[in-house]
């Protein structure tokens, strides 16, 4: 589940046909491209959205409330300087609404997709435009986190670009208690995280891991994140891509081994607070709360940058002093680079011939977008070149730095899989796995559920 867990709030998810993610090519097949866009219907792409050149650009996305306010604030200076009026509409049921609007001939100029699957469906239908028809692809790729554009790739060509980043590969801990215990604040491998941290915490009478999967009908998505983290670290991004696109079966032996490794964190009653019942009965947003008790009841929480929004108010108000973080480390003997599991919102252009919409896309997907949102909190830029001084605290700066120094980023795997799996059997079978089902049976059951076409 990518970024802030919207799919935990609306389990409808997104239909993402695995066949759409067919390649991990890192080069633009068109040699960079970019610039002024093409003529109406150029290359067979369907031009839609509002009238061209009317100085009005419509955007449909999934975020509302404070996020919508901060998004609009981040566009204010651009609107003044460009003379383009941007009309944003937020819709919590974005996935359904955007399909309905496109089918009715009422497309927005730009869509902001919280998961890649729906965007890739439109790419297959030539209803969104490849970024190389209106942006400088090579320049864009040079500033983005490595691997981010691959989430928007269909048959070797990229159809969207990120305007927000989410970093999931973070280990959080209660700072004062953790440092008092003398635990390692920078374990280099998962094995060191076990021996130098978890085992020592347990020896001091504290359960090491704070883990909660509870999310109503979406319970299980936290478990999928653990498997994705381990698939990426144990076997590397190439195998990860093969797995999420079903070029290897879900019950490949490497997937089973990743599930077995995930069990060491999630199923061992000595390692996780409350054992398996505690994992399933604790809401994901409440998982870290026991770490702030005196003394802590658990210490370690692996979760994305959005986790802080669920922490106690006094912790949020003094984040830098209350919590510490480090990257979820590499797996010894596995992929040698530091990989990051993440997500984000991908901007895609429906109105491919409108110069105004092209200009908005160029700004939205640049490292110049987002400073007001970043300063308000709750937003990360997908660009390595974004000014870290825009972030409101050292914790957020450190998260951004972790992402910037990563060797590769991969989008949340369940968001890349077909809906029947990614927000279906992958969730439900992980719940069965947590209650005792074997890793092999779990992988076999999910493989059997993969759509045949």
Cβ-based neighbour number of residue 24 at 10 Å: 17
Angstrom CA distances, 116 to 73, 249, 283, 400, 424, stand at 25, 21, 26, 22, 17
Q: Are 244 and 21 in contact (CB under 8 A)?
A: yes
**Mean pLDDT on 138-156:** 95
**Mean pLDDT on 211-224:** 97
Contacts of 384 (CB under 8 A, 6+ apart): 143, 144, 145, 404
User: 6-167+341-411 and 170-339+415-449: same fold?
Assistant: yes
What's residue 194's pLDDT? 97
Where does 6-167+341-411 sit in CATH, by number?
Answer: 3.40.190.10
Interval 233-290: pLDDT, tens = 999 999 999 999 999 999 999 999 999 999 999 999 999 999 999 999 999 999 999 9
Q: How many angstroms separate the CA atoms of 190 and 145, rounded? A: 23
| pLDDT above 50 for 54 | yes
Exposed / middle / buried, residue 109 (Cβ in 10 Å: 0-12, 13-18, 19+): buried
| pLDDT above 60 for 17 | no
* Partners of residue 154 on adjacent β-strands: 157
What's residue 5's pLDDT? 55
The verdict on domain 170-339+415-449 having CATH code 3.40.190.10 is yes
- In 3D space, the residue among 287, 270, 180, 175 whose CA is nearest the CA of residue 226 turns out to be 287
Cis preceding linkage at 295, omega within 30 = yes
Angstrom CA distances, 317 to 42, 309, 314, stand at 52, 11, 5
Which of 305-310's residues contact partners 24+ apart within 8 Å by CB, and which partners?
305/166, 305/167, 305/168, 305/170, 305/380, 305/396, 305/399, 306/3, 306/4, 306/5, 306/166, 306/378, 307/170, 307/172, 308/395, 309/4, 309/285, 309/378, 310/284, 310/285, 310/286
- Does an H or E element contain 72, and which? helix 65-82
| pLDDT above 60 for 4 | no
Parse the chain into domains and list their residue ranges.
6-167+341-411, 170-339+415-449
- The percentage of the chain sitting over the pLDDT mark of 70, rounded to a whole number, equals 90
Mean pLDDT of the chain: 91
Q: Which two tokens stand for residue 361?
A: 């896309």
Q: pLDDT band at residue 45, thresholds of 50, 70 and 90?
A: confident
Residue 330 φ/ψ, nearest 5 degrees: -70, 165
**Mean pLDDT on 334-356:** 96
**Mean pLDDT on 372-377:** 95
**Mean pLDDT on 428-438:** 98
Q: pLDDT band at residue 309, thresholds of 50, 70 and 90?
A: very high
What b/e readout covers 231-254, taking b as 16+ CB neighbours within 10 angstroms? bbbbbbbebbbbbbbbebbbbbeb
**Mean pLDDT on 14-23:** 35
Query: Left, alpha or beta for 5 (phi > 0: left; psi -120 to 50: alpha)?
Result: beta
What's residue 34's pLDDT? 35
């Amino acid at each position: 589940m990518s970024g802030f867990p919207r799919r935990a709030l609306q389990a409808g998810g997104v239909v993402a046909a695995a066949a759409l993610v067919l390649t991990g090519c890192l080069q633009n097949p068109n040699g960079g491209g970019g610039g002024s866009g093409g003529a109406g219907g150029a290359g067979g792409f369907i031009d839609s959205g509002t009238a061209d050149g009317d100085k009005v650009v419509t955007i449909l996305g999934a975020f509302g409330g404070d996020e919508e306010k901060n998004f609009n604030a981040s566009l204010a200076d651009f609107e003044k300087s460009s003379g383009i009026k941007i009309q944003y509409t937020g819709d919590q049921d974005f996935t359904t609404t955007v399909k309905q609007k496109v089918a009715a001939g009422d497309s927005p100029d730009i869509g902001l997709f919280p998961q890649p699957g729906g965007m890739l469906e439109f790419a297959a239908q030539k209803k969104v435009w490849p970024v190389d028809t209106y942006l400088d692809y090579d320049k864009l790729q040079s500033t983005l986190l490595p691997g981010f554009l691959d989430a928007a790739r269909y048959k070797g060509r990229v159809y969207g670009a990120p305007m927000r980043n989410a970093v999931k590969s973070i280990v959080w801990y209660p700072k004062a208690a953790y440092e008092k215990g003398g635990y390692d604040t920078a374990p280099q491998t998962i094995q060191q995280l076990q021996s130098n941290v978890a085992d020592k915490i347990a020896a001091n009478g504290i359960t090491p891991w704070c883990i909660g999967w509870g999310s109503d009908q979406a319970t299980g998505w936290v478990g999928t994140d653990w498997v994705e983290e381990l698939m990426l670290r144990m076997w590397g991004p190439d195998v990860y891509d093969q797995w999420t696109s079903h070029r290897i079966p879900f019950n490949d032996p490497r997937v089973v081994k990743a599930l077995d490794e995930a069990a060491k964190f999630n199923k061992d009653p000595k390692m996780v607070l409350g054992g398996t019942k505690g994992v399933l009965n604790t809401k994901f947003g409440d998982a870290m709360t026991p770490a702030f008790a005196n003394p802590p009841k658990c210490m370690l929480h692996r979760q994305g940058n959005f986790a802080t929004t669920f922490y106690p108010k006094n912790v949020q108000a003094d984040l830098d002093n209350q919590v510490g973080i480090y990257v979820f480390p590499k797996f010894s003997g596995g992929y040698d680079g530091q990989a990051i599991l993440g997500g984000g919102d991908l901007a895609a252009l429906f109105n491919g011939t409108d110069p105004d919409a092209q200009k908005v896309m160029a700004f939205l997907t640049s490292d110049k977008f987002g400073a007001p949102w970043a300063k308000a909190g709750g937003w990360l830029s997908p660009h390595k070149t974004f000014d870290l001084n825009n972030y409101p605290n050292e914790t957020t700066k450190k998260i951004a730095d972790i992402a910037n120094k990563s060797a590769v980023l991969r989008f949340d795997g369940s968001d890349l899989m077909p809906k029947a799996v990614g927000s279906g059997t992958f969730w439900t079978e992980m719940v069965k796995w947590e209650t005792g089902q074997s890793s092999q049976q779990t992988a076999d059951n999910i493989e059997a559920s993969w759509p045949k076409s």
